[in-house]
Amino acid sequence: MSGRFNPRRLARAMLQGAMRIAPAHAAEWGQAMLCELHYVEGNWTALAWAVGGAGVLMKQALFSLFIPGPASQMASSDRQFFAKEKSMRKSTLIAAAACLAASLLFFAAPAFRQAFALSLRQWHALVGSLYGGGESPYPGTDYLKMADRARKNHDAEGLAFVAAHGWGTPNAGAVADEAVQIDPNLTWIYAVAGARNWSQPEFDQRIGKLEEYDPQNATPHLIDAQRVQYQDFARGGFRPGKYADDPAWQNAMAAAFASPKLDLYADQLQQLDYNVSRRYGFDDPYEVESQYFLSNGISPGFGNSMDYAKSLLNSGDALAARGDSAGALKQYWLVVHFGEMMWPPQHRTYDVLRIGIFASVFLEEPYKHLAAFYSKRADREQAEFFNYLVDTTKQARLSNSAAARQFFAGTPAEQWNANILGASGIALFLCASVLLVCAVVTLARSLRAQPRNLQSGPLTNLLGGASAVGVLVSSSALYLSYRPYDELVRAYLRDGDPSHLQTLIVFLSFLNYDSYPPKVGTLYNLRDFPVYFWAATIVLCIFAVIFVAVRYVSNLRRSTAAA
Amino acid sequence: MFVRFLFAMHDWKHGTDGRLIASGDICRLWDVKIPRMSPQTIQVLEEFSERPTAWHYGYELSRETGLKSGTLYPILMRLAKYGLLETKWVTTEKGVPPRHTYRLTPKGVEVLRGELLARARQRVGARKPALSGGAA
């Protein structure tokens, strides 16, 4: 029957197939195994013979991929031996040089330089964690230099930017003064600088100026309350103080809650960031991200607001218990009024989520108190209305929380790209190190050789060639994984639309290397790669030392035995 | 891993320093390499040593040593690479494929002899303490 399975035929086909991929020097041996197949007794034995033979040929094919040249040639004399090495070295050298040149060409692309800088930050974070440095792993812009440049150009916005962004910049208040002196319309920058540097006493007067500039806004009062809280905290030896009893804190919070508006200057700040970024050519993704998140810095005293709201609600309850309904309602409505002021402008997704969650939490309580108040007074209609508002704010909080989680969860693409970028950075570093070691070894051998020409052994060739290819592959991966986010930064700088940055923020959040050593159970986390990398490097080095020592002792013994 | 050995060809009469070397002696020559002598390699060489001048077929060696083709052929390839084995194609009869045959070279014979000698010395060395212990 023609369709019947014939193991011998399969064996022949298998060997013939393997011979097609076998290198030239193994062809004769492939032919030998194929011819010998004819004499092997038994079909299944023949198949086993072919499987073994095909394995040998495939191994040779794989080996020849890494070490070019006729590996089967016998080094019968010095001349032949070195002739073989020379051909291997030459081809490897050309391939390695080509890979290296191609990798270096990547540096011409700004996106690659950014990606490279991002990949280096994981080392920065690791070094910082090892040495316990409190320094930020993201050094960012040199704000002092930028301030000098802005002064020379009389650039008020540039100075305001430094005052707003320069965390820990000495005299941030003085820089803000310079900006306001040039352009008084930038007085709002005191809010941002003050909110970020509220521990500095020299901001007292500046917050006063801000109150004059924007008298209806609650923000200056919130900053005041925060400053009082800090001073109380500092006086108490940095233990939780009783700031709530401090009349200065109470006055500041009362003024904030009585204010007709709450403006965090997000729009002005966004416009300032955009103008300055374009003018000064910022394209650092972390810088752009921090601009996006700066509104975190101008949400001063939200914790204070909660504390004050609680005290108002308690006071309202007490008044209600004493039968002072008007006084109680006044207290409750003050809290509702402040909560309603918190609803943010709708153009920043993250702000909407962040402040929206807070506002809904904030509003839930006074609505509950109002519902209870009317319920006790048997006003069913009002009680139901406020219960409905409690449910609505609760739903808003839950949906905002889910949206915030979704916002930061991102898509698998962001996580993968961040992981690839981190891993590529490590691979690039590793391959470049191996390549450097190979180059040094080759150079050292060449200096000892007579006549002096480039000398490298097969292992050096193999490692050098493989690491050069590794440098090229990791550079390409680094570039490709970051390229889409570079486009987003450029799109933002082009048209000023912050919605471009949302994907970038999620991508960067996956790149934040800030927890070392990694916790047990998170071994899969590629963000912890540097730790594993160094652990593996140390283990490999120990193995290498043991291997060299064992080899040395073994050779020594053989030499002694042979002598 | 390669072990650098110095061996004297059985037809050599003088070493590199001009001293007379007895046929079959193992000494050091730094410019010659031999493959790693695994137990399977020794087994193959021993098989050759039974009829050093005769030509052997691959399948025949496989049957007699019990080594699979995947183990045997890399050994044969290595031995041939280091000049310890010579190969030849022979046609046995018309209509059947030619066969690849193998035979030890004089260098192969010498390496085998050296290896066997070294093993014999090791065996003797390993037995000595037990014997002396018994004598005491």
Q: Using DSSP, how many helices (H) and how many strands (E) does chain A show?
A: 22, 0
- Token digits of residue A128: 């910082």
Long-range contact pairs involving A339-343 (C-beta distance under 8 Å, separation at least 24): A339/A309, A339/A363, A339/A366, A341/A218, A341/A259, A341/A261, A341/A262, A342/A262
Distances, alpha carbon A317 to alpha carbons A20, A322, A369, in Å: 90, 9, 8
- Token digits of residue A557: 């013994």
Q: In the block, which residue shows the tokens 């000098």?
A: A148
**What ranges in A377-500 are assigned the alpha helix state H?**
380-409, 412-448, 458-495
**Coil vs helix vs strand at B90:** strand
Q: How many residues does chain A have?
A: 563
**Coil vs helix vs strand at B7:** strand
Phi/psi region, residue A89 (left: phi>0; alpha: psi -120 to 50; beta: rest), is alpha
- Euclidean distance between the first and final Cα of chain A, in Å? 67
Mean per-residue pLDDT for B83-102? 87
In whole angstroms, what is the distance from residue A126 CA to residue A115 CA?
18
Would you tell me how many other CB atoms lie within 10 Å of the CB of residue A107?
11
The model's pLDDT over A205-242, given as tens digits with 9 standing for 90+, comes to 888 888 889 899 888 888 888 888 877 777 766 666 67
In whole angstroms, what is the distance from residue B36 CA to residue B75 CA?
10
Percent helix, strand and coil across chain B, each rounded to 5?
45, 15, 40
- Euclidean distance between the first and final Cα of chain B, in Å? 41
- B-chain CB neighbours of A558 within 8 Å are 3
What is the reported pLDDT for B24?
34
Q: Which residues of chain A have pLDDT under 50?
A: 1-2, 71-88, 131-139, 295-297, 346-347, 514-526
Under 8 Å between Cβ of A33 and A49 = yes
Mean per-residue pLDDT for B56-81? 91
In whole angstroms, what is the distance from residue A159 CA to residue A162 CA?
5
In whole angstroms, what is the distance from residue A207 CA to residue A194 CA?
7
What is the reported pLDDT for A294?
56
Residue A517: DSSP 8-state:
S
- A-chain CB neighbours of B118 within 8 Å are 561
Under 8 Å between Cβ of A210 and A191 = yes
In whole angstroms, what is the distance from residue A338 CA to residue A305 CA?
9
- A-chain CB neighbours of B106 within 8 Å are none
Phi/psi region, residue A96 (left: phi>0; alpha: psi -120 to 50; beta: rest), is alpha
Angle, to 10 degrees, between the axis of helix A501-510 and the axis of helix A349-376? Answer: 90
Measured between CB atoms, does A560 come within 8 Å of chain B? no
Q: Give me the residue spans of the domains in chain A.
A: 1-64, 109-135+412-562, 140-300
Name the percent of chain A lying above pLDDT 70: 76
Would you tell me how many other CB atoms lie within 10 Å of the CB of residue A239?
7
Closest CA to A264 of A218, A228, A211, A230: A218
Best to test chain A binding among B73, B96, B100, B119 (most A CBs inside 10 Å): B73
Best to test chain A binding among B27, B31, B59 (most A CBs inside 10 Å): B59
Under 8 Å between Cβ of A497 and A491 = yes
Phi/psi region, residue A241 (left: phi>0; alpha: psi -120 to 50; beta: rest), is beta
In whole angstroms, what is the distance from residue A265 CA to residue A210 CA?
12
The model's pLDDT over B96-110, given as tens digits with 9 standing for 90+, comes to 888 999 998 888 888
Instruction: Indicate if the alpha-carbon torsion angle A390, A393, A397, A398 is positive or negative.
Output: positive
Distances, alpha carbon A266 to alpha carbons A121, A203, A484, in Å: 29, 20, 27
Element (H, E) at B26: none
Closest CA to A140 of A293, A344, A263: A293
The model's pLDDT over A180-195, given as tens digits with 9 standing for 90+, comes to 999 999 998 888 887 7
Q: In the block, which residue shows the tokens 């316990």?
A: A132
The torsion angles phi and psi of B56, rounded to 5 degrees, stand at -120, 150
What is the reported pLDDT for A512?
64
In whole angstroms, what is the distance from residue A214 CA to residue A371 CA?
35
Burial (CB count <10 Å: 0-12, 13-18, 19+), residue A261: exposed
Per DSSP, what are the bridge partners of residue B104?
B85
- A-chain CB neighbours of B26 within 8 Å are 562
Strand order across the B85-90 sheet: B56-57, B99-104, B85-90
Q: How many residues does chain B have?
A: 136
Residue B3: DSSP 8-state:
E
In whole angstroms, what is the distance from residue B54 CA to residue B64 CA?
15
Q: Please report the domains of chain B, with CATH numbers, ordered by start residue.
A: 36-135 (1.10.10.10)
Instruction: Indicate if the alpha-carbon torsion angle B31, B36, B37, B40 is positive or negative.
Output: negative
Q: Between chains, do A36 and B27 touch, taking CB under 8 Å as contact?
A: no
- Token digits of residue A487: 């486009």
- Token digits of residue A216: 């209806």
Closest CA to A272 of A300, A291, A297, A293: A291
What is the reported pLDDT for B32?
46
- Token digits of residue A477: 């991966």
Cα angle A540-A544-A549, degrees, rounded to a multiple of 5: 150
- A-chain CB neighbours of B87 within 8 Å are 28, 32
Residue in B with minimal Cα distance to A41 = B59
What is the reported pLDDT for A297?
47
Least CB–CB distance from A562: residue in B28, B71, B76: B28
Best to test chain B binding among A34, A37, A39 (most B CBs inside 10 Å): A39
The torsion angles phi and psi of A390, rounded to 5 degrees, stand at -60, -50
Mean per-residue pLDDT for B57-79? 91
Residue in B with minimal Cα distance to A561 = B118
